Structure 1
Amino acid sequence: MKSLLMSLVLVCACASSFYSQKVNRWYQDGKVVFELSNQVKKYKCLNGIVDGKSMPFSNSAIYRYQITGVKALHQNIKDEKLSRTYQVEFNNIYEVESLIELIKQNIDVVYAEKKELHENFLTPNDTYFSNSFNNGQWGLFQIDAPQAWDISTGDANVVVAVTDNAIQINHPDLVNKLVPGRDVVDDDNDPSPCGGNDGFHGSHVSGIVGAESNNNLGVASIGYDVSIMPIKIGNCSTGALTGGYDGIIWATDNGADVINMSWGGGGVSTYGQNVCNYAWNNGSILVAAAGNNGTSQQFYPAAYNNVISVASTTSGDSKSSFSQYGTWIDVSCPGSSILSCNQTTGYQITQGTSMASPMVAGLVGLMVSYAQSASQQDIVSCLLSSCDNIDAANGNYVGQLGAGRVNAHQALLCLNAFTYSLDAGITQITSPFEQVCDSSVTPEFTLRNLGSQTLTSAVISYQYDNGATQTYNWSGSLTQGNTETITLPTQGLSAGAHTITISCSSPNASVDQNNQNDSQTSPFTIIVNGQQATIDVLTDCYGSEITWTLTPQGGTTVLAQGGPYQDVAGGQMNSSNVCLSAGCYVFTINDTYGDGMYGSQWNSCSVDGSYSISDANGNVVASTIAANANFGNQEINNFCIVSNLTYDIGVSQIISPEGPTCNPAVVGEIELFNYGSLAVSSVDITYDYGGAAQTTTYTNTIAPGTSALVSLPVANLTGGAATFNVTVSNPNGNVDQNQANDNMSSSIYVYDTYAALPFTEDFESNGFTNNEWYMTNPDNDITWEIATVVGTNPGNKAAKIDFFNYSAGGQRDGFQTPPLDLSAQTNVQMTFEHAFRRYNQQSRDSLAILVSTDCGDNFTYIGSYAEDGTGTFATAYTSTVEFV
């Protein structure tokens, strides 16, 4: 879902009022917004207005564009992006594109863009009051609200903010439900209607969210007992919605749990996305109307990331004729003929996605009330996964109405896991994990009371490597939501890979009502002769920009990682310890801003950062390379840990062969490293390609702590898959005292022919060997597999990556064709089908297409299909249910 400064659109199905816009329907005339780069100082401001001496425009530019002022939109907010966001106001409105280009060329900005305008689409139906199912509050029955109220009627301490044109705060069905609100346009505390802004829309929306229920008056609301925070975002003269993003920020800063946005437009901006990110990151759940144009066009803010987009449905669960649709929609909800409060003291029926959105927002408020220990993502996941399937009523919109029509009853049932009275859980195993430099471990874990009763006892069961179960009886006192770190008895273990599984049961000597969180497993490795290396990172003033990873040389497994750190004036030292066996490693440090840790170049910082890595003997084996730590976006530092053993020779890297090759005559090339304390002048090398082993002896001297490249004799292989295995032994004729680094393997695939066109694949062979596909799986985790699917022709097979069970980010698994003979071709086309569904709104998966003309040594980027958070890559609606 995307962003810009938006003109707001109240999304009811009605005629449009354009608020006298002259240049662009979706953007405000005479306003441009830009974010100032953090490489330059913020402008000097007085009450938010940029001082004349700091004005970033020349006199000629001021005259040409008739610039009347520049102001900081959020000068005092604690957000790096929003605190650097400025608004230019000018009268030569037809020169807006030229002004944006001028700003981009002459000011160091992150972006410059038009400011969005959101419109009111309201043309209400005649006033009508009825409490019947058919023409009154049918929507509440459709989503099973009465059954949900049997579980919970909400909590007045949970606040749903209504950002809208204005709200009639004296309406008899609203007056007792309101917490203090705000008029962000006129900067006062009165969100009531004024002038040409009658407040009908905001009052109607507020009633849907949380009208007082069970009071023998008017209407009931899905939120029932939740409170409403009224926020006026429309001006008094025309009702134009110019304060939408200011309203979101005010709501978040003043404790809103949920924010409803029954407005939007076709304009999009980085500013708008930044505001939505700020609200989500500070604990608010955002809900927005999808729009009333009846098309698949994305409306904003509904289509931004971190916003629940809501389409509208009828009493038969079909899409309302006016409602937007598309794979970017998250959920659907009744929005046709909805009865609620009007702007006076009465009630009225109207329709639109503006009515569907607050019903979802009120439901989310009810969910937060019921499960206050649940996270934002827990709430959103239950909302989506509990929806009713409405595909049967929407044959032309399958996959384009989100997860389905919301079901309030099922949504609350989904949250039962957060509402039990007796519920003890293991939230984290803090030790052992990763690498352990000892022959014994002392387990530590976190026990959490998720139930409403105070937890006073529990039985802890644990086992190593799925072996015999041991028990530990815990007693103490934990109130709901609190945790305690528990230490288990020390256990001796052999070298190598292990797992520990820890479970809890019998809370307060009773049955645990939720078994889903009772157990955790931690894999770890006991390293013989390992060393406790120390990684020290001294940040400059901007620690939040810094991250680092430690990987083995020639491998991708992350052994340790750190950052981002805090932003601290004067910098801050951050130390991490990691157990490393003798071997070579790669330390990669990243800076998101691109200035390394060269803090002293900025006026606001007087220090530069640095890093160093020390072995167990205190020897520095790696340190900052770039002067002043000015390494830009990234610095890579290779280093080796030397063993304390006398004889320790190892294979540190296979240089070739690895991966596909089009030459059957292969030459093995490896790197040897002397980790021991004595020079090695001879070492035996045994190698094979899946057949008979061969042996050779390397006889040059390798000094301690140094490496040598060794080329092996040519081997002639047949076509197909093979594995290159290499082992070293007998340094100087002695036993190698550390055999953990003596072996290494690489997977290769020999292509001895070229495939002719046309090249086709339907995967009906139920495998990848028929057409000699080659797969790369850098992290040795989940990768391509054959799956049974529907909708394909011919057959029902496809190649699939199981993203549902694969949580590692930043990985790219390759799926390569065999070499294709294109010598006689002048125009080659590739076609394929794909299916993809987002798990949640943060999904960022992509499919890239590359071509190689040198048998896979180098690839040229051709194009990609990427999920940018708006559902553009998706072929089905967002859902937490596994997808095939």
Structure 2
Amino acid sequence: MKHRIVAVLLMVPAILLFAASARAVTIELSGDRISIHAEKSPLSVILSRLSASGIQIQCPPHIDPEVTATVTDKPIHEGLGAVLKPYGYVLFWERSGKNKSLRPAELHVFDSVGREENGREEREEGFAVAVNPKDGSLYVRNEILLRIAPGSDGEILRSLVSGLGGVILETDALLGIHRVRLPDGIDIPDFPAKLKAGENRLTAEPNYAYPIDFPRRFVGRAPRFESVAPQNIISDTTGVPVAVLDSGWTAGYGLEERVIAALDAVNPGMPVTDGLGHGTQMALIAAGEVRPMGTAGEDAKASPIIPIRTFDDSGITSNFALMRGIDFALSSGARVLNMSWGSETSSPFLEEALAYADNRGLIVVAAAGNKATGAPVYPAAYPTVLGIGALAPDGTPWQHSNYGSFVALSAPGYADLPVGYKGEAGIYAGTSIAAAYVANVISGWLTENPDWQKSDVMHRLRTHGLKRQNP
């Protein structure tokens, strides 16, 4: 049975067309992508068509609004999100067939967590974070990430969560990782080890949380170095896009014509804002609107950007928000991803998500950290990520820049920024600035050499490095 369903979904597109008077539903499934056209169609009709394609459906009877939507060749989770908004849903995947390909198996629809009775969505204030006393790592309170082993029955996951009194909040469709909320009283940091001992078909991690690594602002006397005016700045979006996973972006600093897509990964569906300023700072550098001090100005080019708000207004992000942001960066056509932050907490799930992105051709750069400890900082220290240290304007290592074998290179890390981070505009320093600059430079190289792969970029970095201004 599974082999036959996979053949329908993965080998040939499954096209389902139904019409009832003026109401029409067209659904086309092909692999992990979907096209939907619905005009004033009851949700129950749309779900029944999905059921006919082999996806088991669970949806409360009272959730049956009329839906008008058009989605063309989008990832399944995006298409379902457009049709099911403002309701929540979980899409379960399973591996079937000789190639063990992933296919959508079950769709559960439910009233969204935090949604008012009148249907208006509430904006979450941020992540509720707890600290693991054993190692100091942060995690989202009462949340765990779960993944079922390939070939295992999905009922294992549902039975476990139900037995614990938990709720599956959402699923990362690309990686098959489920975000689960558990009741009070469960030791979240110890849960993965206990689960592994009793059930080896499930893998678990806390939904790790990470604080943003803010740059240092100079007050009073700041290092003096002549800035180079940006070159080749053009108001278009024709270059290779850079996705910036940070605290969002704010209009009014010349970025409006550079932004080709944006997402609030903390509160999907809400307008992207930036309550910290850090994301806007990094977006300005990644777009080429601001050049760090000491750069020659020849390497960097104007780049389109995809700002993705993954940090809340307290400067905290979570693994699942980052995975959501990575998914969006891939689906929006980014070839470079900037992560100007770091933590000493390592996460196998996040490492795998970044390895998946790397395999899809996304070049990821990350800040090495603003404490010179020599300890690995993640995501910069993951094998598929380029860790970036910072240089002073005269080309010497910045005294606070982290170091170690995980640092691929160092780049100028001082910038005169028109927007502040939790404060006033001015001169800031940090590996976050250096990482955003390298992301911009790589975008420029890929724009000029569209056939280049990551290996070509690495060769260019090793043989030519980054051009610098002579002091």
Map Cα deviations across residues 359-399 of structure 1 (whole Å, 9 max, x no partner): 10000011111111222221222123322xxxxxxxxxxxx
Unpaired runs of at least 5, structure 2: 1-126, 292-296
Contact kept, 8 Å, 2:215 with 2:430, in 1: the verdict is no
Alignment of 1:867-878 (within 5 A): none
TM-score, L = length of structure 1: 0.34
Deviations 1:617-658 (CA, angstroms, capped at 9, x unpaired) = xxxxxxxxxxxxxxxxxxxxxxxxxxxxxxxxxxxxxxxxxx
> Of the candidates 206, 214, 223, which is equivalent to residue 114 of structure 1?
206
Which residue in the other structure is 1:407 paired with? Answer: 467
Structure 1 counterpart of 2:394 = 316
Among residues 133, 138, 159, which one is paired with 1:55 in the alignment? 159
Offset of residue 251 of structure 1: 0.5
Partner Cα distance (2:419, 2:316) in 1: 19
* 2:54 paired residue number: none
- Relative to 1, partners in 2 of residues 1:275 and 1:128: Cα closer, same or farther, differing over 3 Å? farther
- 1:350 shift after superposition: 1.4
Residues 37, 19 of structure 1: CA spacing in aligned structure 2 closer, same or farther, 3 A cutoff? closer
Q: Are the counterparts in 2 of residues 259 and 286 from structure 1 also a CA contact under 8 Å?
A: yes
In structure 2, the partner of 1:246 is: 324
Q: CA deviation at 1:87?
A: 2.8
Q: Within the alignment, does 1:188 sit opposite 2:269 as a pair?
A: yes
Rounded to whole Å, the distance in 2 between the matches of 1:312 and 1:115 is 30
* Shift of residue 128, structure 1, vs aligned partner: 9.4
Quick check: which has more Rg, 1 or 2?
1
Q: Determine if the alignment matches structure 1 residue 296 to structure 2 residue 386.
A: no
Q: Give per-residue Cα distances to partners, 1:407-448, cap 9 Å, x unaligned.
A: 379xxxxxxxxxxxxxxxxxxxxxxxxxxxxxxxxxxxxxxx
If asked which structure has higher relative contact order (CA below 8 Å, sep 6+), I would say 2
Which whole-Å CA distance do the structure 1 matches of 2:235 and 2:347 have between them? Answer: 38
**CA distance change for structure 1 residues 178 and 155 in 2, over 3 Å: closer, same or farther?**
closer
2:243 is the counterpart of 1:158:
no
Distance 1:213-1:205 versus aligned 2 partners, 3 A rule? closer
Deviation sequence 1:761-819 (CA, Å, 0-9, x none):
xxxxxxxxxxxxxxxxxxxxxxxxxxxxxxxxxxxxxxxxxxxxxxxxxxxxxxxxxxx
The answer on whether the counterparts of 2:338 and 2:439 sit within 8 Å (CA) in structure 1 is yes
Following superposition, the deviation at residue 222 of structure 1 comes to 6.3
Work out the CA distance in 1 between the residues paired with 2:342 and 2:410: 17
Say whether the 8 Å CA contact 2:286–2:437 is kept in structure 1. yes
Relative to structure 1, the CA distance from residue 229 to residue 277 in structure 2 (aligned partners, 3 Å threshold; closer, same or farther) is same
Superposition map of 1:825-844 within 5 A:
none
Using the TM superposition, give the Cα deviation of residue 123 of structure 1 relative to its aligned residue in structure 2, in angstroms.
6.4
Change (3 A) 1:93 1:386: farther
Cα gap change, 1:351 to 1:106, in 2 (>3 Å):
same
After superposition, the Cα gap between the structure-2 partners of 1:93 and 1:210, relative to the gap in structure 1 and judged at 3 Å, is farther
Which amino acid in structure 1 is aligned with residue 159 of structure 2?
M
Distance 1:312 1:154 in 2: 29
Task: Name the residue aligned to 1:205.
Answer: 282
User: For this pair of structures, how many residues does the alignment match?
Assistant: 332
- When residues 235 and 213 of structure 1 are mapped into structure 2, their CA distance, relative to the original with a 3 A threshold, is closer
Helix, strand or coil for the counterpart of 1:162?
Answer: strand
Q: Distance in 1 between matches of 2:455 and 2:418?
A: 31
Matched position secondary structure for 2:407? coil
Among 215, 238, 249, the alignment partner of 1:167 is: 249
Secondary structure of residue in 2 paired with 1:163: strand
Q: Report if aligned partners of 2:259, 2:307 keep a CA contact under 8 Å in 1.
A: yes
The alignment partner of 1:105 has SS state of: helix
User: Where does 1:430-829 land on structure 2 (aligned, <5 Å)?
Assistant: none
RMSD: 3.5
**Structure 2 partner of 1:627:** none
Structure 1 residue 211 displacement after superposition:
4.3
Given that 1:111 and 1:270 are in contact with CA atoms closer than 8 Å, whether structure 2 keeps it comes out as no
TM-score (norm 2): 0.62
Residues in 2 aligned to 1:21 and 1:43: alpha-carbon distance in whole angstroms = 30
> What is residue 27 of structure 1 aligned with on the other side?
138
Unaligned runs of 5+ in 1: 1-17, 45-49, 215-219, 388-405, 410-884
For residues 185 and 384 of structure 1, the distance between their equivalents in structure 2, rounded to whole angstroms, comes to 37
Shift of 1:313: 1.5
Tell me whether 1:232 sits opposite 2:344 in the alignment: no
Match of 2:405, SS state, is coil
Residue 282 of structure 2 aligns with an amino acid whose one-letter code is V
CA contact (8 A) 1:163 1:230 kept: yes
In structure 1, how many angstroms separate the alpha carbons of the residues matched to 2:349 and 2:342?
A: 14
- Distance in 2 between the 1:341 and 1:88 partners? 40
Q: Is the 8 A contact 2:213 2:369 kept in 1?
A: no
The Cα shift of 1:267 comes to: 1.0
Asked whether the equivalents of residues 235 and 258 of structure 2 are also in contact (C-alpha less than 8 Å), the reply is no
Secondary structure, aligned partner of 1:234: coil
Identify the residue that residue 697 of structure 1 maps to in structure 2. none
Given the superposition, is the C-alpha separation of residues 98 and 160 from structure 1 closer, same or farther in structure 2, using an over 3 Å criterion? closer
**1:74 is aligned to 2:166:** no
Q: Secondary structure at the match of 1:241?
A: strand
Q: Report deviation, 1:340.
A: 2.4
Distance 1:174 1:275 in 2: 28
Contact 2:420/2:426 (8 A) holds in 1: no
CA distance in 2, matches of 1:153, 1:222: 18
CA drift at 1:292: 1.7
Q: 1:274 aligns with which of 328, 352, 372?
A: 352
| Structure 1 partner of 2:437 | 359
SS state at 1:332 partner: strand
Contact 2:344 2:375 (C-alpha < 8 Å) held by counterparts:
yes
Matched, 1:178 2:259: yes
Q: 1:603 — aligned with what?
A: none
C-alpha deviation, 1:309, in angstroms: 0.7
The CA distance in 1 between the partners of 2:451 and 2:144, in whole Å, is: 41
The 3 A distance-change label for structure 1 pair 175 and 211 is farther
The alpha carbon displacement at 1:317 in A equals 2.6
Alpha-carbon spacing, 1:305–1:206, altered in 2? closer, same or farther (3 Å): same
Task: Give the letter for the 2:436 counterpart.
Answer: P
Q: Which has the higher helix share?
A: 2
Q: SS in structure 1 opposite 2:316?
A: coil
Q: d(CA) in 1 for partners of 2:417 and 2:151?
A: 50
Query: Is 1:102 matched with 2:179?
Result: no
What's the CA shift for 1:330?
0.6
Aligned partner of 2:336 among 258, 269, 282: 258
Does the 8 Å CA contact 1:178/1:227 hold for their aligned counterparts?
yes
